Structure 1
Amino acid sequence: MKWLVVLGLVALSECLVRVPLIKVKSMRENLQENGMLKEYLEKYPYSPAKFLSKNQNKKVTYESLRNYLDLVYVGLITIGTPPQTFKVIFDTAAADFWVPSVFCNISFCYKHRRFNPQSSSTFRLPPGPLRPVELNYGSGKIMGILANDTVKIGDLEDINQAFVLSNQEDGAFRFFAEFDGLLGLAYPGQDGGTPVFDNLWEQGLISENLFAFYLTSGGMRGSMLMLGGVDHSYYSGELRWVPVAKRRYWQVVLDSITVNGTIIACHDGCQAILDTGSSVVNGPNKDVLNIHNIIHAQHSFNDKYVIDCNTTTHLPDIVFVIGGINYPVPARSYIRKLRSIGEQGRLGGLEEFSSKTWILGEIFLRLYFSVYDRANNRVGLAPAI
C-alpha cells in the first residue's frame, strides 16, 4: 500500500469580535475528484506567488496575487444596503478585496453570489472616470472596477469601504472554487487603497490594532477570525513574538528547518510568509525535494510524492525554527488522506516552487494560534488548543 505525501488562529479583549470560519473543499480537491487536476496543472503551472513586470498599463491598477488552488477557510460578510451576503477567504497574504458582480456574465460566475450595485442604496463609485482593476492569479485574471459600499463583518460596520467589483474572470476552472471572493488582511498595497482591516481601525471600530486566527484541525466548524483583541483560551503557554521582516505580507525570518535535530533546509536563515489563504506549506524546490528524500517519499502522479504507509508512524517531525523557538509539524499534519485515492493513498501539504521564501499555510497554522499585530508590526505564535 502507498500513501501520498505532500508537505503542502486568534485572541481578543473584552471587545473581541469573532467571525466564524468554515473549512470547505479546496479547488485542488474538487478538481482532483472530478478528474481535472492534471488538465488544470498543465494549463496553469503552479505558482503561489506571481510577480508582475514593471511594464504595465498605467491606466490600470495591477495587483499580483498567487494561485488559489488551495484556499479552504471561508467566512461570511455582507456588502451593501440592504446587505448582500458573500463567502470570502480572509487572506493574510493579500491586501485586495473583491467579489463577483452581476455584470460578470461568464457561465461559471453564476455559480457564485454576485453583487448587484443597483440593489444597494449605499453603493458609490469613486469620483472621476471609472477605475479599472486587474488582479493577476497563477490561474488567470480577475478584472473589474473599483467601487465603495458598506461592508459588515460580524457586528462591525465598515462605511464606504473600497472593493473590486469583478465583471470578467479569466479561467473556467474557478467553477470549482467554493468561495465567492477574497478579503485581504495583508499590509496596504502599492495602489494606495485602504484595506478593510485598516478602515476598521481608522474608524474606531476595534479596540486593538491586531487580529488573530484559530484554525481547527478537525470537523467543519470551530475555526475563528478574531478582530481587535486576543482570546487567550484558544492557545496554551505564552505567545512568542517575532517582528515582521517585510511590511507587505506577514513575512518573518525563518531561522532554519530541522529534522531530528539536523538542519535540512534554510541553513543560513530565510524568509517565510504566514498565509491563512493556503492549505499547504510551500518551499524552494531543492529544499522540499531534500525533505522528500529524508522521509523516503517517491515521485508519483501530478508531481506528488508517495510513501509506504507502514512507515508513516515512524516519520519525523519537521521543525520550523522562528525567533529561536521550535515549531514542530508532525507527520499526522503533513500527511492527509486524498479521497480519490481511497484507502491506498494520502495527500499532505509540502509543495515545491521556485521562490526562496517559504509559505506557511493551514498545515502549520492549524497547529499554532497566530496573532497579527499591526500596532507593533509583529506576529505572535502559540500552540493552538
Structure 2
Amino acid sequence: MMKQAMLKFSHLSNLKIFLLLLGLTPLTQQAILDLELNKIDNSLAHQLQTKGEEGLDEWMSNNQHKNIDKSGLYRAIEGVVSDQLLQKKQNTYSQKFLDTAAGSLILQQYDDQQEQIFEKELRNYLDIQYFGTLYLGSQQEDMTFIFDTGSSWLWAPTKDCKICHKSEKYDPKVSEFFEQISDEPTVVTYGTGQVRGYLSQDQVCLQKNLSSCLQEFQFLSVFETYELGGLKSDGVIGLAPSSYRSGPNLFIDELYQNGLIENRVFSFYMANDGFPQPQKEFKSRLTFGGYNASIAGKKFEDYGSPTWNELINSNYWSVQLVGARLGDKQLQMSTNIAIVDTGTSYLLMPNPDFDQLVTYFQNYLICGQDQQKNLFKCLCTEQIYQNFPNIKIQIGNNVYSFPKEKYVLPFNGTCYFMIMNMTFREGTGLWILGDNFLQSYLTIFDYDNLRVGFIGESKYEEIPKTMIEYLTYFVLGLLLVVIIFVIFQLCFNHKPKEDNDGGYKRTRSNDRPIKRETTSDASPFGQPLLTVGGTQTDRQQKLLD
C-alpha cells in the first residue's frame, strides 16, 4: 500500500577517499568539503578530537601522508562539523584552527547561528507513526526510533532478540562502549505492546559523527517484544519530562549536560505527508535545543509567538483540560487532565466523554462501531462530511481547533473517526492529544520551564468558573462581612462609661447604699448582669464592697 520513500546519500567510495588521502587524486576544495567524517579513519577522528592540530600532525606522521594539505584536511573535518552547528564537544580542537583563513570562515558561519540546535527529519507512515534515526554504539549503527513524549525509556532490539517485531537488530557485541549494567530484565508496558530487556549503556548519536554523541547513555537492550507487530520503527526513545518510571537520565537532559544544546527545549512538526511518492522528501521535523516555525513554510507565519500551557504534573507533558465543544454542544468533561503524546496516533478520551461524542452524531446520522478496525463510524456523503463541526479544545486560557480533516476519514460513503475511547479506573481518566491533533500545530516542549507551547490557530478565553468556585467566593464574602461587623462592634459599641472621677461610683463602707431607680438590669457595659438572688441594689453593693 505505502510506497517507501528512498533517502538519497552521496558517499564517496572508500577507495576514492583513500586515494584522495594519498594525494593520488586531485584534491579540489569541493572534494575536500564533500568528505564525510564517518568515512575518515577512526584513528584520525580520535586524534583530532583529543589533541587538535597536534593530533593531525601526529596522525600524518604515523601514516606518512606528508604530502597532504593540512589546512585542506582540516576544512574537510570542519565542513562536516559545520553541518552540526559546531557543538561544544569539539570546541577544544576547532578553536586552535581559528587563526587560519579557513577557520575564520567557519567561525563566521557558526556566529550566524543564534542557538545550538539539532534538526532531525522524521519519516511518516500513513500520518500515524513518525520516526527518525539515531546511531548506536561505536560502530554508529543506524536504528530508527519513534520519539515518544509519553514515555521515558530508550530501547532497541538486539541481535539476541528472537521474539521481536520486524526490525533492524542492534549488535552490542560490536560496540567498544557497550556495557550491560543489570542482569535482571526490565519490562516496559505501553498502551499497546510490551518489551523486555536489560539495562545497558552505550554511545548514542544524533548524527553520524562524533560531535553529536552521548558516550554512556543508559537504555534497554531488548531481547523480547510483544504485540508490536504494527510498529514501523526499530525502537522507541522516550522524551517524557520525568524518568521516575525508568531511572536513567532524560535524553534531553543528557544532551544539555554534554553541551550539545543550550536550552532543554525540543519541538515537533508533524506534516500530513504520510502517502509519499518515491523520492519525495519528508517534511516532518524534530528539533532539539529550540524550535523553528519556518520549517513548515508559511503555515505558521501569521501566528507569531507560541501560546504556552504550564504543566500540572511533571511526570508527563500534562496540561489543564478545561473543556471541549463539538459544534454548539459543550461536552461535560469527566477529567481536567490532557497529556500531549507524540507516541499516540489518535486523540483518545475516557468513555464518558466519548459516549457524548457518539450520542451527538447518532442524533443525526446512522452510526456504529467497526469491530474489525475498532473505530467509530457513520454513514456519510460528501455533503454530510463537509458539515462536520470542528472540535474546540480549551487548555488553560487557550482554545485550540481540532478540524474535521484531522479526526474524520471519509472512505466509500463511510466516515471513520480517528478518535478512540479508553477505560480508566474511576477518578483517573485523562485525554491524550495524539499525532492527529498535533498535525495542526508546531508543538514545543520546554523542559526548562515545564510547559508546552503551540504555534497555530488558537484564541484566548477565560477559564469558566465552576459552582464550587462561585460557592467559595460567596462563603468568603460572607465571612468578610461578619469579620468587619465584629470589628466595628468591638471598636465603637463596647467602650465603658466613666464618671468625672475617672472610675465607677463608690460608697464608703459606713455610707448607706446608693439607691438607683432602674427599669432594667443593665451593666455598665450595656449588658445585663447574671443574677442568682437578691435585689439589684444589694448585688451592686456586694460587688462594690
TM-score greater than 0.5 by the shorter chain: yes
Is 1:206 matched with 2:261?
A: yes
What is aligned with 2:291? 230
What does 1:227-306 align with in structure 2 at a 5 Å threshold?
A: 227-233=288-294, 234=296, 235=300, 236-266=303-333, 270-296=336-362, 298-302=367-371, 303-306=374-377
1:315 aligned to 366, 383, 388, which one? 388
Shift of 1:191: 4.2
Shift of 1:348: 3.2
Shift of 1:97: 0.7
Shift of 1:134: 1.0
What does 1:15-94 align with in structure 2 at a 5 Å threshold?
A: 15-25=116-126, 72-94=129-151
The verdict on how the C-alpha distance between 1:152 and 1:265 changes in structure 2, with shifts beyond 3 A counting, is: farther
How many residues are paired up?
318
What is aligned with 1:376? 449
Would the aligned equivalents of 1:74 and 1:88 in 2 still touch at CA under 8 Å?
A: yes
TM-score (norm 1): 0.77
Is 1:178 matched with 2:232?
A: yes
SS of the residue corresponding to residue 255 of structure 1 reads strand
Would the aligned equivalents of 2:194 and 2:225 in 1 still touch at CA under 8 Å?
A: yes
Would the aligned equivalents of 2:385 and 2:415 in 1 still touch at CA under 8 Å?
A: no
The verdict on how the C-alpha distance between 1:138 and 1:260 changes in structure 2, with shifts beyond 3 A counting, is: closer
Post-superposition, which runs of at least 4 consecutive aligned residues in structure 1 deviate over 4 A? none
Quote the Cα distance in structure 1 between the aligned partners of 2:332 and 2:114.
Answer: 38
Would the aligned equivalents of 2:375 and 2:417 in 1 still touch at CA under 8 Å?
A: no
- In structure 2, runs of 5+ residues without a counterpart are 1-112, 277-281, 458-545
Shift of 1:177: 2.1
Would the aligned equivalents of 1:273 and 1:360 in 2 still touch at CA under 8 Å?
A: yes
Q: Partner letter of residue 246 of structure 1?
A: N
What is aligned with 1:143? 196
What is aligned with 2:480? none
Would the aligned equivalents of 2:375 and 2:418 in 1 still touch at CA under 8 Å?
A: no
Quote the Cα distance in structure 2 between the aligned partners of 1:279 and 1:170.
Answer: 19
Deviates more, 1:320-329 or 1:229-238: 229-238
Would the aligned equivalents of 1:13 and 1:229 in 2 still touch at CA under 8 Å?
A: no
Quote the Cα distance in structure 2 between the aligned partners of 1:366 and 1:315.
Answer: 19
Quote the Cα distance in structure 1 between the aligned partners of 2:114 and 2:130.
Answer: 24
Quote the Cα distance in structure 2 between the aligned partners of 1:125 and 1:273.
Answer: 33
Shift of 1:349: 1.3
Shift of 1:369: 1.2
TM-score (norm 2): 0.55
Shift of 1:87: 1.2
The verdict on how the C-alpha distance between 1:287 and 1:96 changes in structure 2, with shifts beyond 3 A counting, is: same
The verdict on how the C-alpha distance between 1:375 and 1:138 changes in structure 2, with shifts beyond 3 A counting, is: closer
RMSD: 2.1
Would the aligned equivalents of 2:124 and 2:273 in 1 still touch at CA under 8 Å?
A: no
Q: Partner letter of residue 177 of structure 2?
A: T
Q: Partner letter of residue 123 of structure 2?
A: I
The verdict on how the C-alpha distance between 1:112 and 1:191 changes in structure 2, with shifts beyond 3 A counting, is: closer
Quote the Cα distance in structure 2 between the aligned partners of 1:289 and 1:218.
Answer: 31
Q: Partner letter of residue 377 of structure 2?
A: V
1:97 aligned to 154, 169, 184, which one? 154
2:168 aligned to 102, 105, 113, which one? 113
Quote the Cα distance in structure 2 between the aligned partners of 1:313 and 1:13.
Answer: 44
What is aligned with 2:89? none
The verdict on how the C-alpha distance between 1:381 and 1:138 changes in structure 2, with shifts beyond 3 A counting, is: closer
SS of the residue corresponding to residue 393 of structure 2 reads strand
Is 1:194 matched with 2:249?
A: yes
Q: Partner letter of residue 92 of structure 1?
A: T
1:354 aligned to 408, 413, 423, which one? 423
Q: Partner letter of residue 301 of structure 1?
A: D
The verdict on how the C-alpha distance between 1:138 and 1:381 changes in structure 2, with shifts beyond 3 A counting, is: closer
SS of the residue corresponding to residue 89 of structure 1 reads strand
- In structure 1, runs of 5+ residues without a counterpart are 1-11, 27-70
Would the aligned equivalents of 2:313 and 2:319 in 1 still touch at CA under 8 Å?
A: yes
Shift of 1:17: 1.1
The structure whose RCO (Cα within 8 Å, separation 6+) is larger is: 1
Shift of 1:94: 0.3
Quote the Cα distance in structure 2 between the aligned partners of 1:170 and 1:120.
Answer: 26
Q: Partner letter of residue 326 of structure 2?
A: V
Shift of 1:314: 0.5
Quote the Cα distance in structure 1 between the aligned partners of 2:175 and 2:254.
Answer: 20
Would the aligned equivalents of 1:214 and 1:366 in 2 still touch at CA under 8 Å?
A: yes
Shift of 1:143: 1.0
Q: Deviations over 1:174-215 (max 9, x none)?
A: 333211100000022244311222211111210111111111
Query: How many percent identity over aligned positions?
Result: 25
Give 1 or 2 for the bigger CA radius of gyration: 2
Would the aligned equivalents of 2:138 and 2:176 in 1 still touch at CA under 8 Å?
A: yes
The verdict on how the C-alpha distance between 1:281 and 1:189 changes in structure 2, with shifts beyond 3 A counting, is: same
Quote the Cα distance in structure 1 between the aligned partners of 2:118 and 2:412.
Answer: 41
Higher helix fraction: Structure 1 or Structure 2? Answer: 2
Shift of 1:95: 0.4
Shift of 1:346: 4.1
Q: Partner letter of residue 78 of structure 1?
A: Y
